[in-house]
Structure 1
Amino acid sequence: MQEVEFEVEPVFMDEEMLHEAVMVQIPTYPHIENPEEIKYSDILTLQLEYKNIPKIQFLWEFTSLTRLDLNNNLIEKIEGLDRLVNLTWLTLSFNKIEKIEGLESLRKLELLNLTHNRIAVIENIDTLEKLTHLYIGSNRIEQLDNVLYLRKFEALFALTLSGNPVSEEDEYKYLIAAYFPKLMYLDYKLLDAKTKNEAAVKYHHFLEKMKAEELQIQQAKEEEQRQMDEVKLHKDAFVEFLTGSHMFKSMFKDDPEADILPSVPGMADLLQTYEQQMAELCTQLFQIGLDEHKRREEEVSSFFSGHAKSVRYYQQKASQILASFEEQHNERISELQQLSDPEVLRVEINHCNDEINQLSSSLLELALHLYSGVEDIIQKLDANVSEMIVYFVETAQDIFAQFRDLEDNYYENVKKIAVTTLENVAKNDVEVELSNDVKLLFKSKETVMDALATGHDNHLQTIIDQETQLIMRANVWKVALIKRIEDNELERNRKRTSIVHRYMNYLREQLEELQ
């Protein structure tokens, strides 16, 4: 059935529209005394239906919003919702939306209503893992395979697809019941046990095949994630280039004679031995890197454990001080409210201000004590981690020195083989037929020796570069770690101090109102 459209004048979202929508809901917020001072960040629901809105915008302040109704508008694109991370209910039915998008940050969303739009593909909702109700009827969805995309949503409770071409297929109800065994409602009707059992029997073969394919995909994803985690671990340990023969191959990657030399008599065995020796040293340094990374992680974890303990102690002490003060302060306020003599009132208020000043001093002193204590454990962390980094760097330097020794030894042996080969070529006394590339290389002693020297320099430079990179990254990590912790703690201390000052101001203003 063709859609009938009427010309409607669009009304763009603006401050006035949002303010009006908020004011309508004020009666549902009895704790708000002055509606004019309401903050959009406190609003939980927002109804913007039947407004002829063509575009979603200006909603970034509604960060606490849990329900948003935008149905029956002129919206063509889902956008402007990124900051509404607390949404659990979103209605966009009866609009002009053609593509599902812009929902990635709505990870708490449970209900999504997109009925009566122009959507042809169900997509881009992978992050909505808590989705329980999806209404997407009366759209343009044709492919059942696309609907099966929803099988990943294990919490899906209700699904509406009626009004889409896919719902007109034979056996549609049984197909959905078979492929979504946990679904309770389809097109607003209960999927009874009889229908589910019949569907499961009828499509048993297809279900088993699908489950096998899904399991294979899941296993592939898990393996991919495992590999990603492994790569990250190796990077965090600064040894990602020290696995197997990676370093050896990187040394010979840009060596112009690397493909020629193995065909020279005696050279292949030398290269194989060299690669094996390099790989053994790499494995040694690689394992040391992982072990040292684990030690550093344990040290950092221990720091944060101690930090959390210090903060809990501070919070308990602060709570005790505040509880004791507030109990007495409330009694004093009650007594002050009964006083009629201005002079006596003034004296008592001054006394209360003295108590507030004492409270402020106690809380600020406690905060300073916490900050000083945390600074001490930060210094201890710095010292311990620095010691670990120094040990790791010195150990790595020793092993890189062995890499260079291996390269020097290899270079000397290569030169000996080259001299022997040059002599044999000159005497035409070569046991095996040499390739044209080898003959060209060994045409003169100068050509061979220059090529070997260049390769040797390149190999050493690769080793030096790897060593420099490892040392630099290890030291940069340590400096960045301590700086990040220090900056975060300084900011926390500023916030604690600011909270104390704000509370003191509130108490003093409370006293001023009594004068």
Structure 2
Amino acid sequence: MSEQRPDKFEPILMDEEILKEAIEKNRPKDAAGRTVKVEGVTFNDIPTLCLQFRSILKIDHLWEFTCLTKLELNNNLIKKIEGLDCLLNLTWLNLSFNSIEKIEGLESLRKLEVLNLSNNRITVIENMDTLESLTLFCLKNNLLGQLDNVLYLTKFKNLFTLNLCGNPVSKEDDFKVFITAYFPNMKFLDYRYIDEKTKKEASIKYHYVLEKIKRDGLQAQQAAEATQRQEAELQLHHDAFVEFLNGSYLFKDMLKDDLEADKLHHLPGLKSCQEFLDPSLTFEHQMVELCMQLFEIGLAEHKRRQTEVNSFFSGHSEAVPHYQHKASQILANFEQQNKERLEEMQHLTEPELLKLKVNQCNDEINLLCNNLTMLDFQLVSQLEDITKKFDINISEMVGSFSETAQGIYPLFDHLEDNYNEKVREIAVATLEKVAKGSTEGMPDDVRMLFTDKDTVMDALTSGHDNHLMKINDRETRLVTCVNAWKVALVKGIQDKELKRSRMRISGIHRYMDYLREQLEELQ
């Protein structure tokens, strides 16, 4: 990484012409020392791009360099980090000796390992959150003034080399010990190895820091493991087609968009009304029980299906190696005999005898082709039988689960009918009280609502219809998804095996062509 200032040339913009020139300049030399000229420069094949000492003002025209891994832009006149969004494979970036004042524009560089921003005008370490692979960071000779700001870098667990010399923070008496304490995995600071003496001093002086780092690391690990377990559990529920059925999700989902009925059931006065509260609580409890029943059945059925899938792929994996072994034996026997035949024919001088031997060899090649093709046909037939049996078994399992689910969902409808009937009875009774003027102790909002019978009845009907629609949608989704999974699984297996068979047959014919070309060369 160069540490020289660019000569004072005329400022230029980075354009296609400059990029082509840089690529040609860095192409390999031939034996005479001349640059190897390659026509039609393709930017998306270039792994390294060097543009130092060019007086470049702005990073631009790099969108085609999708395979670029190393970019040298040091010793230029760049003021802003930009134009790097398409460089997803970049691992090395050198922007030293420029006029950059802010760290930015690096969000897409998730593979970046080495970042050199030395000799710029940067005051704050920021906007680097996505650089998870960073191992070396050089920020020497900048304007970093807050030592605590360096702690931003503690999130990079792979960072083992840091260079901050020449910054105001590096002049603090406690700088080296401070960094060593907060970065226990750091190997090199300001390009000097962190020795055991410094580590010991840091462990004594910042004992509380190291303990905190250890605790925080353990908590972070536990949190990450908990998140992984939760994600794995959710994925299992999704694969079993019973996601969000282990609780009151369906009940709450039915009520969340029930705007009209919400006016009836969730007015402040009704929230505390025991008459309305009891049916709702009972309904929710019954719904959750039924959901949990379906949830447990779904998990059990998923386990059965997974066992069948594993059994299928186990049988599949046994059939293919058996075919490969037999094919290898046939080829080995043929190649040994064919080698002897070719050696014999190379010494033949009589054209007629040579022609006879060539015909015999062609017959052997045709026989080999037939044997290998027949072997492949046997494999295909065996795999088709295995797949057909698997299709039958998995279809029966999917059908059984669908029927069970379709038998349970009407029970949800029945619960909703009972709930709606009870609430309707309470509403009618309340309407009669209001009509008779018996509104003592009734909140004003409830009394106002129940002065219009049509509004109350419409709200109840609308709520009932919405609840049934939610239940029906959930049932349809379960049945549709599990059947779609089965169809996609079987079709994927069939398509993959068809592709493999075609590749095997194609390979056989290519080999036959090669053998026949060998014979033609002898004639």
**TM-score under structure 1 normalisation?**
0.78
3-state SS of 2:136 partner: strand
Aligned match for 1:259, one of 260, 266, 269: 266
Matched, 1:243 2:252: no
Q: Deviations over 1:188-208 (max 9, x none)?
A: 433222222222222222222
- What amino acid does structure 1 have at the position aligned with 2:361? C
Q: Deviations over 1:223-281 (max 9, x none)?
A: 33333333332222222242322222222221232214555552221221111111111
Residues 73/507 of structure 1: CA separation in 2 closer, same or farther (3 Å cut) = farther
Aligned match for 1:395, one of 404, 407, 411: 404
- Alignment of structure 1 residues 199-348 onto 2, 5 Å: 199-253=202-256, 254=258, 255=261, 256-260=263-267, 262=271, 266-348=275-357
- What amino acid does structure 2 have at the position aligned with 1:451? A
Look up the match of 2:511. Answer: 503
CA distance in 1, matches of 2:428, 2:264: 16
The 8 Å contact of residues 60 and 81 in structure 1, kept in 2 or not, is answered as: yes
User: Once the 2 structures are TM-superposed, how far is the Cα of residue 151 of structure 1 from its aligned partner?
Assistant: 4.8
Aligned match for 2:138, one of 129, 133, 136: 136
CA distance in 2, matches of 1:513, 1:116: 65
Aligned match for 1:477, one of 477, 485, 500: 485
Residues 314/410 of structure 1: CA separation in 2 closer, same or farther (3 Å cut) = same
The 8 Å contact of residues 177 and 183 in structure 1, kept in 2 or not, is answered as: yes
Matched, 1:404 2:413: yes
Residues 176/262 of structure 1: CA separation in 2 closer, same or farther (3 Å cut) = closer
CA distance in 2, matches of 1:466, 1:223: 29
CA distance in 1, matches of 2:47, 2:347: 45
User: Once the 2 structures are TM-superposed, how far is the Cα of residue 283 of structure 1 from its aligned partner?
Assistant: 1.2
Q: Deviations over 1:30-70 (max 9, x none)?
A: xxxxxx9xxx9xx9x976657879765766689xxxx8685
3-state SS of 1:257 partner: helix
User: Once the 2 structures are TM-superposed, how far is the Cα of residue 403 of structure 1 from its aligned partner?
Assistant: 0.9
CA distance in 2, matches of 1:278, 1:159: 59
Residues 116/416 of structure 1: CA separation in 2 closer, same or farther (3 Å cut) = closer
- What amino acid does structure 1 have at the position aligned with 2:488? A
> Would you say how many aligned residue pairs link Structure 1 and Structure 2?
484
- What amino acid does structure 2 have at the position aligned with 1:212? R
**TM-score under structure 2 normalisation?**
0.77
The 8 Å contact of residues 103 and 124 in structure 1, kept in 2 or not, is answered as: no
Structure 2 residue ranges without an equivalent (≥5): 32-37
Residues 134/276 of structure 1: CA separation in 2 closer, same or farther (3 Å cut) = same
Residues 349/174 of structure 1: CA separation in 2 closer, same or farther (3 Å cut) = farther
CA distance in 2, matches of 1:231, 1:305: 27
Q: Deviations over 1:411-438 (max 9, x none)?
A: 22223323333333344456x6122232
User: Once the 2 structures are TM-superposed, how far is the Cα of residue 285 of structure 1 from its aligned partner?
Assistant: 1.0
Look up the match of 1:7. Answer: 9
CA distance in 1, matches of 2:4, 2:210: 36
Aligned match for 1:21, one of 27, 47, 56: 27
Aligned match for 1:178, one of 170, 176, 181: 181
Q: Deviations over 1:127-169 (max 9, x none)?
A: 53xx7x5263547583666655655665655555545665455
User: Once the 2 structures are TM-superposed, how far is the Cα of residue 291 of structure 1 from its aligned partner?
Assistant: 1.9
Residues 236/409 of structure 1: CA separation in 2 closer, same or farther (3 Å cut) = same
CA distance in 2, matches of 1:321, 1:201: 72
The 8 Å contact of residues 162 and 187 in structure 1, kept in 2 or not, is answered as: yes
CA distance in 1, matches of 2:25, 2:510: 29
Q: How high is the sequence identity, in percent, across the aligned residues?
A: 48
The 8 Å contact of residues 262 and 268 in structure 1, kept in 2 or not, is answered as: yes
Look up the match of 1:463. Answer: 471
CA distance in 2, matches of 1:349, 1:233: 62
Q: Deviations over 1:449-494 (max 9, x none)?
A: 3332232222222211221222122222222222222222222222
CA distance in 2, matches of 1:216, 1:140: 35
Residues 293/329 of structure 1: CA separation in 2 closer, same or farther (3 Å cut) = same
Residues 257/300 of structure 1: CA separation in 2 closer, same or farther (3 Å cut) = same
The 8 Å contact of residues 118 and 142 in structure 2, kept in 1 or not, is answered as: no
3-state SS of 1:443 partner: coil
3-state SS of 2:441 partner: coil
User: Once the 2 structures are TM-superposed, how far is the Cα of residue 366 of structure 1 from its aligned partner?
Assistant: 2.5
3-state SS of 1:513 partner: helix
The 8 Å contact of residues 49 and 73 in structure 1, kept in 2 or not, is answered as: no
CA distance in 2, matches of 1:79, 1:447: 57
The 8 Å contact of residues 296 and 385 in structure 1, kept in 2 or not, is answered as: yes
The 8 Å contact of residues 95 and 118 in structure 2, kept in 1 or not, is answered as: yes
User: Once the 2 structures are TM-superposed, how far is the Cα of residue 391 of structure 1 from its aligned partner?
Assistant: 1.5
CA distance in 1, matches of 2:24, 2:315: 47
- Alignment of structure 1 residues 36-51 onto 2, 5 Å: none
Look up the match of 1:32. Answer: none
Residues 458/359 of structure 1: CA separation in 2 closer, same or farther (3 Å cut) = same
Residues 428/57 of structure 1: CA separation in 2 closer, same or farther (3 Å cut) = closer
- What amino acid does structure 1 have at the position aligned with 2:394? V
The 8 Å contact of residues 114 and 137 in structure 2, kept in 1 or not, is answered as: yes
Look up the match of 1:28. Answer: none
The 8 Å contact of residues 22 and 46 in structure 1, kept in 2 or not, is answered as: no
The 8 Å contact of residues 21 and 48 in structure 1, kept in 2 or not, is answered as: no
CA distance in 1, matches of 2:424, 2:235: 40
User: Once the 2 structures are TM-superposed, how far is the Cα of residue 284 of structure 1 from its aligned partner?
Assistant: 0.9
CA distance in 1, matches of 2:364, 2:87: 48
- What amino acid does structure 1 have at the position aligned with 2:499? E
- What amino acid does structure 1 have at the position aligned with 2:128? E
3-state SS of 2:241 partner: coil
Residues 140/333 of structure 1: CA separation in 2 closer, same or farther (3 Å cut) = farther
Residues 175/306 of structure 1: CA separation in 2 closer, same or farther (3 Å cut) = farther
CA distance in 1, matches of 2:292, 2:86: 51
User: Once the 2 structures are TM-superposed, how far is the Cα of residue 402 of structure 1 from its aligned partner?
Assistant: 0.8
Q: Deviations over 1:85-112 (max 9, x none)?
A: xx9x8575768696545443x5xx8x63
Q: Which moved more, 1:111-120 or 1:305-314?
A: 111-120
CA distance in 2, matches of 1:21, 1:356: 47
Aligned match for 1:349, one of 349, 355, 358: 358
Residues 429/395 of structure 1: CA separation in 2 closer, same or farther (3 Å cut) = same
Q: Which moved more, 1:6-15 or 1:250-259?
A: 6-15
Structure 1 residue ranges without an equivalent (≥5): 26-35
CA distance in 1, matches of 2:340, 2:96: 58
The 8 Å contact of residues 244 and 279 in structure 1, kept in 2 or not, is answered as: yes
The 8 Å contact of residues 239 and 470 in structure 1, kept in 2 or not, is answered as: yes
Q: Deviations over 1:324-374 (max 9, x none)?
A: 333333343444444444444443333333333333333333333222222
